[in-house]
């Protein structure tokens, strides 16, 4: 499905989740998303992560509601399942290739290219950034200083590197012909097909089943 359409569905569902206090509805969304993820052959490790990562905040919400909340036990479980519903619906986007998302945001949602390509190139820096943090730590150790993740120096150095890289990237984009307000052609035409819109509407309707019955 068109990535922009996916984002719109997820945002709409997210909004609905926020204003609905319905445990079955939350669980229904989790199950639907799980089915899609299994269909996309999500790796067991990634699935475990998706199940475990929200556990601590979800339990936190649950416990605070059970013991201290004014809205009762049921609301605690609503919050608990709601958090999982958010996490699972967001995970649907993970399998969407970044470039496809880029093209779609630019062509379908008409986001400024400056913003779209800026974000894409920044994503490419993540792995460099991890190496840079390691390098900074090693360079400090060699001078008899141990930097921990709470050391301001580590962040200061990391920010300096980030500034340097961002200028390099911006210069490189321009030298590859990118003009901020300029027109561009598009090799891959990201059209939204009528069938996809129908599918999107159906998905939103199907999701409402627990509320309707």
Partner 1 sequence: MSITVSNFSFQYQNHQKILNQVNFKINDGQLILLTGPSGSGKSTLLKWMGGLYPQFIDQKYKVSGEININGKNIKKLKANQLSQNVVMMFQNPNHQFTMPTVNNEMIFALENQRVSPNRIQPIIDQVLSRYHLNHFKHRQINTLSGGEKQQVALAIIMAMNSKVILLDEPFANVDFKARKKILNILKQLKQNGKTIIIVDHDLNQYEHIADCYLYLFNDGHIDSFNHIQSLPNYKWFHTEPQSFQLPNNHQLSPAITLANFQLLRGNKKLLSVNQFHFFMNKITLITGDNGIGKSTLFEALIKLIKYQGDAFLGHQNIKKIKNKQYFQKIGMTFQDAEDQFIEITVQDEIKLSMNNANQKQYSKKEILKWLKRLNLIHHLKQTVYTLSEGQQKKLQIISMLIMHPQILLMDEPFQGIDYASLNETYQLLKDANQNHHQTMIIISHQLADMDQLADYHIQFQDQKLIYSRQLK
- φ and ψ of 47, to 5 deg: -65, -40
Whichever of 169 and 203 has its CB closer to partner 1, that residue is 169
Q: Which tokens go with 121? A: 């190139």
Whichever of 38 and 145 has its CB closer to partner 1, that residue is 145
What's the gap between Cα 42 and its chain centre?
Answer: 16
CA angle 120, 37, 82 (to 5 degrees): 90
Shortest approach of partner 1 to residue 192 CB, angstroms? 18
Shortest approach of partner 1 to residue 2 CB, angstroms? 18
Shortest approach of partner 1 to residue 183 CB, angstroms? 6
Shortest approach of partner 1 to residue 91 CB, angstroms? 20
- Spatial CA neighbour of 29 closest among 47, 13, 53: 13
Residues of the shown chain interacting with partner 1 in the complex, contacts defined by CB under 8 A: 98-99, 102, 117, 120-121, 123-125, 127-128, 131-132, 134-136, 138-146, 153, 157, 160-161, 164-165, 167-189
Whichever of 167 and 208 has its CB closer to partner 1, that residue is 167
Length of the chain: 213
Whichever of 87 and 101 has its CB closer to partner 1, that residue is 101
Rounded Cα–Cα distance for residues 157 and 20 (Å): 45
Whichever of 179 and 209 has its CB closer to partner 1, that residue is 179
Q: Which tokens go with 45? A: 């490790």
Neighbours of 84 (CB within 10 A): 20
Shortest approach of partner 1 to residue 161 CB, angstroms? 7
């Amino acid at each position: 499905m068109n990535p922009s359409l996916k984002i719109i569905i997820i945002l709409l569902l997210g909004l609905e989740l926020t204003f609905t206090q319905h445990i079955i509805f939350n669980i229904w969304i989790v199950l639907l998303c799980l089915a899609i993820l299994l269909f996309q052959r999500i790796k067991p490790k990634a699935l475990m992560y998706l199940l475990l990562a929200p556990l601590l905040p979800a339990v936190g919400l649950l416990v605070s509601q059970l013991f201290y909340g004014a809205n009762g036990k049921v609301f605690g479980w609503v919050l608990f399942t709601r958090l999982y519903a958010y996490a699972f619906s967001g995970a649907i986007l993970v399998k969407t290739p970044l470039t496809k998302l880029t093209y779609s945001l630019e062509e379908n949602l008409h986001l400024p290219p400056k913003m779209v390509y800026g974000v894409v190139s920044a994503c490419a820096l993540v792995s460099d950034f991890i190496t840079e943090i390691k390098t900074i730590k090693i360079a400090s150790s060699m001078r008899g200083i141990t930097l921990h993740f709470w050391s301001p120096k580590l962040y200061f150095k990391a920010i300096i590197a980030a500034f340097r890289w961002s200028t390099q990237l911006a210069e490189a984009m321009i030298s590859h012909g990118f003009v901020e307000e300029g027109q561009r052609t598009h090799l891959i035409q990201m059209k939204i097909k009528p069938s996809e819109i129908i599918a999107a509407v159906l998905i939103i309707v199907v999701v409402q089943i627990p509320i309707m019955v």
